[in-house]
Amino acid sequence: MTDDQLVSVFERGEVPDGGFHHREHVRVARHYLRQHGIGEAIARFIASLRRFAAAQGKPGLYHQTVTVAFLLLVAERLIDAPLDEDWSAFAARHPDLFCWEPSVLDRYYRPETLWSDRARAAFVMPDRIATA
């Protein structure tokens, strides 16, 4: 499935063949960031993800801090990416974006901060200093 096809399915609130897991979230985020400025990409991704979660009957799964933090990490990784880099090459260069436990966000957030109701509802700034 191409990036455009995945985004189209996602924006319709449908689950693509194979599911819509963390890897697909990152892939759609990368696509939006490549197509739009960071502000617009974040706004579009949030709106689309909320619609997708609602369409799946799971609006309570949406987490603002996790969503925005991952978008910012992907945006950072795109700074030095070759313009013609495809999804597979991007994913291969950044395997830390796809590991959920431990998560790349563990470098930036204490668990009690990231998994708080406050962080779920609104973006919370990182409370740890990231280490390489």
Model-level pTM greater than 0.85?
Answer: yes
Q: Assess contact for 29 and 74: CB atoms under 8 A.
A: yes
Q: Assess contact for 19 and 51: CB atoms under 8 A.
A: no
Measured in whole angstroms, how far is the alpha carbon of residue 105 from the centre of its chain? 11
Domain residue extents for the chain: 3-121
Residue-by-residue pLDDT tens, the chain, 132 positions: 999 999 999 999 999 999 999 999 999 999 999 999 999 999 999 999 999 999 999 988 899 999 999 999 999 999 989 989 999 999 999 999 998 888 999 999 999 999 999 999 999 999 987 665
* CA–CA separation, 26 and 41 (whole Å): 12
Please name which of 100, 108, 102 lies closest in space to residue 124, comparing C-alpha atoms: 108
* CA–CA separation, 7 and 2 (whole Å): 9
